[in-house]
A = this chain, B = another copy of it.
Amino acid sequence: MPHITSASKGVFVIAVTPFTDTGAIDMASIDSVTDFYLETGAEGLTILGMMGEAPKLTQSEALAITKQTLTRTGDKPVIVGVSGPGLAALGELTKAVMGMGAAGVMVAPPMGLRTNEQITGYYSQVIQTIGTEVPVVLQDFPLATDVRLSIGALGQIIEAHPSIVMLKHEDWPGLSKISDLRKAEADGRRRISILCGNGGIFLPEEMFRGADGAMTGFGYPEMMVEVCRLCDAGDQDRAQDIFDAYLPLVRYEQQPGVGLGVRKYVLAKRGVIASAAQRNPGTPLPPAAVAEVERLLARQTKRLHELS
B288–A175 contact, CB under 8 A?
yes
| Chain B minimum-CB-distance residue to A306 | B306
**A143-160 CB contacts (< 8 Å) to partner B:** 148-153
Q: Is there contact, CB below 8 Å, between B201 and A125?
A: no
Query: Is B55 touching A85 in the complex (CB atoms < 8 A)?
Result: yes
Binary contact track A198-238/B, C-beta < 8 Å → 1, others 0? 00011001001100000000000000000000000000110
Contact yes or no, A114 B173, CB < 8 A: no
Choice from B58, B86, B128, B240 contacting A57 with Cβ under 8 Å: B86
Contacts beyond the supplied A115-B116, A240-B299: 19 A-B pairs with Cβ under 8 Å: A55-B86, A57-B86, A58-B86, A58-B88, A58-B89, A61-B88, A115-B153, A116-B117, A116-B153, A118-B150, A172-B255, A173-B258, A176-B286, A202-B251, A202-B252, A205-B292, A209-B288, A240-B248, A244-B247
* B255 adjacent to A288 (CB under 8 Å): no
B56 contacts A59, C-beta separation under 8 Å:
no
Interface size class of A (residues with CB under 8 A): 35 or more
A11 to chain B, nearest CB (A): 20
Q: Are A256 and B288 neighbours in the complex by a CB distance under 8 Å?
A: no
Decide if A87 is an interface residue (CB 8 Å cutoff). yes
Q: A260 to nearest B CB, angstroms?
A: 11
Interface check A100, CB cutoff 8 A = no
Which chain B residue has the least Cβ–Cβ distance from A119? B115
Query: Among residues 26 to 85 in chain A, which have CB atoms less than 8 Å away from a CB atom of chain B?
Result: 55-59, 61, 85
- Per assembly, the copies of the chain total 4
**Beta-carbon contact of A256 and B209 below 8 Å:** no
Residue numbers of A with Cβ under 8 A of B are 55-59, 61, 85-89, 92, 111, 114-118, 121-122, 125, 128-129, 148-153, 172-173, 175-176, 179, 201-202, 205, 208-209, 236-237, 240, 244, 247-248, 251-252, 255-259, 279-281, 286, 288-289, 292, 295, 299
Contact of A115 among B56, B150, B179, B252 (CB under 8 A): B150
Q: Which residues of B contact A209 (CB under 8 A)?
A: 288
**How long is the Cα–Cα vector from A208 to B252 in the complex, in angstroms?**
15
Complex formed: what's the CA distance from A208 to B114 in Å?
A: 29
Complex contacts, A121 vs chain B, CB 8 Å: 281
Q: How far is the CB of A216 from chain B (nearest CB, A)?
A: 15
Residues of B within 8 A of A86 (CB): 55-58
Q: Can you pick out 30 interface pairs between chain A and chain B where the beta carbons lie within 8 Å of each other?
A: A55-B85, A55-B89, A56-B86, A56-B88, A57-B88, A58-B86, A58-B89, A59-B59, A111-B111, A114-B148, A115-B148, A115-B152, A115-B153, A116-B152, A125-B280, A172-B256, A173-B255, A173-B256, A173-B259, A175-B292, A179-B288, A202-B252, A205-B252, A205-B292, A208-B292, A209-B288, A236-B295, A240-B248, A244-B248, A251-B251
